[in-house]
Amino acid sequence: MKFINMNSFLGLLLLASTLSLQFMNAQDNKKLDSLLKVYNSQKDDSTKVQTSIAIFEYYFTIQPKIAFNYAQEGKELAEKINYNYGLSKSHFLIGRYFSKTRIIDSANYYYKKALDGYSKLNKYHEIGIVKHAIGLIQLFNGEYDKALKTCNEQIANYSRNYLDSALLMRFYNLKANILMRQTDYIAGIENALTAYKINKKLKDSTHMIRVLRSLSDLYHYSGNDKKTYEYDLKNLSLARKMGNKTDLAVALNNIGNSLYVVNKPKEALPYFEESLPLCVEIEDFSLFSVTSYNLGKTLVDLGQIDKGIKYLHKALEVAVTKSKTPLYEVWALNGLGRAYNKINKPEKALNFLNKAILIADSIGNKDDEFEAYKHRSKSYELLGQNGKALADYKTYKKINDSVYNIAKTKEIEGLTIKFETEKKEQQIVLQKKEINLLEQKAEISNLQRILLGVAFLLSLIGFYALRQKLKRNKLEKEKLGLELDFKKKELTTHALHLAKKNEVLEGLKQKAEEL
């Protein structure tokens, strides 16, 4: 893969990011100040509940505890004035807070209350949003089958019963992430691309960032570094433009990973270093754990092993106590095992790798499980326990080959389905062409009939016109004949009259001569 000069590029990005974030923060602060003024002057009604919801959204990514307080106030006011929609919304927001802080039982409790409230109000879009949030919890808990069931049910529901493109996009994207955890990358990419196509029509920048992130991760795991980097650049550009600190922190992580996997740890390091303070600022424990892990493994590769181990320990601590995400725990454990092997401390490495294997197996994460076996094989080798080292290496190869074969089988199945689909599509196209030809023939036949009909009608009209003309000519002729007879009679009468007149004149003349 070809890269531009990273030092220059990073400098430009950091400058652009600083200016952009300063501007966005200034704009957000003005809006927030306006909302707070309005909220403090409002009377206790439904409008004030809606304002508390808007304030929650502003605070949630930067100061979630303050956001939580406004959600609580909104809930109490909604209960007081019997504003059921506002109450359901407030329950959902409180659930989001507990989900973010990984207090899962409380999150599920409030999500259930929100679902009950929305169901009574027949708010189908809002029901879908809560279901999506529940699916996210199932994903982070490693309950992939449950999460997949949730997605499939809601995709069917919002495709058939309640057409909702925005929700379909969310569930397709969530499904893509579940399939990624199950190492079904081909199906994951297909679902993420479906979400991407829907979002292109919706033009939802906030969710487009999440879809781009999914595509980046999926292409990363499927080994397509070029596509990974392509989507990471799009994601980072959009995240900087939007100014959302959570999205920016994730985008920085992703671009760092894109560089790390192509053996460019030095270029990757500044992205992780820029991301970590943002994670602290927005109090996102899951993201902090992931970023600390990425930063730690990068430092280990750069030879700063002791410093890297500190970040990996922090990543593990937060994954266990704060984010409570088994997957992130496995990542940190694998990172520590690998790091301790590098400084020839295989006994310490074994403690972490044994735990990594148990957790990865329990959540069905084969990618990280075979990674742990590979590192543990190295630990046994360093300890001189060659039999165990060989056994672990064989297990690593077996799982690795299994994952590879599953991926290849699914790829072949995907290609087969694609081929069959294209074949059917071609058949449909041919059938459509045949139908079009038949329709054209039918149209031509109908046109011929119409033309024949028109010609026949015209001939009838022509015949009728000719007949009428002949009739008119006959009448004209008869009329002229009568007029001629009449003239003849007039002339005869006139001639007789003249003859009579002449006869009288002749008689008078003779009498005159006699006198």
User: Stretch 99-112: mean pLDDT, rounded?
Assistant: 94
User: Stretch 214-239: mean pLDDT, rounded?
Assistant: 90
* Nearest-5° Cα angle at 476, 472 to 482: 145
Structure tokens at 345: 């401390």
DSSP letter string, 154-214: HHHHHHHTS--HHHHHHHHHHHHHHHHHTT-HHHHHHHHHHHHHHHHHHT-HHHHHHHHHH
Do 279 and 288 contact (CB within 8 A), yes or no?
yes
User: Stretch 128-132: mean pLDDT, rounded?
Assistant: 97
CA distances from 431 to 425, 428, 440, 445 (A): 10, 5, 14, 21
Q: What is the DSSP letter of 364?
A: T
406-442 in b/e burial notation, b at 16+ Cβ within 10 A? ebeebeeebeeeeeeeeeeeeeeeeeeeeeeeeeeee
Provide the residue ranges of all domains of the chain, joining segments of one domain with +. 1-33
Task: Give the span between the Cα atoms of 114 and 102, in whole angstroms.
Answer: 18
Do 278 and 17 contact (CB within 8 A), yes or no?
no
Do 332 and 289 contact (CB within 8 A), yes or no?
yes
Task: Give the span between the Cα atoms of 57 and 72, in whole angstroms.
Answer: 13
Task: Give the span between the Cα atoms of 84 and 79, in whole angstroms.
Answer: 7
DSSP letter string, 218-256: HHHHTT-HHHHHHHHHHHHHHHHHHT-HHHHHHHHHHHH
pLDDT at residue 22, rounded to an integer:
42
Local confidence band at 27 (pLDDT 50, 70, 90 cut-offs):
low
Q: Kindly report the pTM of this predicted structure.
A: 0.61
Residues 6+ apart with CB under 8 A from 372: 330, 333, 334, 337, 353, 356, 357, 360
Local confidence band at 508 (pLDDT 50, 70, 90 cut-offs):
low
Interval 362-375: pLDDT, tens: 988 888 998 999 99
Question: 443 or 18: which carries more pLDDT confidence?
Answer: 443
Interval 378-391: pLDDT, tens: 999 999 999 999 99
Interval 142-186: pLDDT, tens: 999 999 999 999 999 998 888 899 999 999 999 999 999 998 999
* Nearest-5° Cα angle at 169, 163 to 137: 110
pLDDT at residue 15, rounded to an integer:
38
pLDDT at residue 465, rounded to an integer:
72
Nearest to 304 by CA among 265, 271, 262: 265
User: Stretch 442-470: mean pLDDT, rounded?
Assistant: 72
Q: What is the DSSP letter of 385?
A: -
In terms of Cβ atoms closer than 10 Å to its own Cβ (0-12, 13-18, 19+), residue 282 is buried
Interval 50-98: pLDDT, tens: 999 999 998 998 889 999 999 999 999 999 999 999 999 999 999 999 9
State yes or no: pLDDT of 283 exceeds 70. yes
Q: Which helix (H) or strand (E) holds 314?
A: helix 305-318
* Nearest-5° Cα angle at 490, 489 to 496: 90
Estimate the crossing angle of helix 104-120 against helix 124-140, to 10 degrees. Answer: 160
Nearest to 34 by CA among 20, 50, 55, 53: 55
Q: Which amino acid is at 239?
A: A
Q: What is the DSSP letter of 122?
A: T
Interval 389-417: pLDDT, tens: 999 989 988 877 765 555 544 554 554 44
pLDDT at residue 461, rounded to an integer:
77
State yes or no: pLDDT of 2 exceeds 50. no
Question: 466 or 288: which carries more pLDDT confidence?
Answer: 288
What is the percent of the chain with per-residue pLDDT over 70, rounded to a whole number? 79
pLDDT at residue 427, rounded to an integer:
59
Residue owning tokens 């570094």: 225
Local confidence band at 18 (pLDDT 50, 70, 90 cut-offs):
very low
3-state secondary structure 3-66: CCCHHHHHHHHHHHHHHHHHHHHHHHHHHHHHHHHHHHHCCCCHHHHHHHHHHHHHHHCCCHHH
What is the percent of the chain with per-residue pLDDT over 90, rounded to a whole number? 57
Task: Give the span between the Cα atoms of 231 and 219, in whole angstroms.
Answer: 9
Local confidence band at 431 (pLDDT 50, 70, 90 cut-offs):
low
The backbone region for 258, taken as left when phi is positive above 0, alpha when psi lies in -120 to 50, beta otherwise, is alpha
Interval 260-281: pLDDT, tens: 989 999 999 999 999 999 999 9
Task: Give the span between the Cα atoms of 507 and 460, in whole angstroms.
Answer: 70
DSSP letter string, 329-359: HHHHHHHHHHHHHHTT-HHHHHHHHHHHHHH
* Nearest-5° Cα angle at 244, 214 to 40: 135
Q: What share of the chain is helix, strand, coil (3-state, %, to 5)?
A: 90, 0, 10
Task: Give the span between the Cα atoms of 149 and 126, in whole angstroms.
Answer: 19
Q: Is the dihedral of CA 96, 136, 283, 16 positive or negative?
A: negative
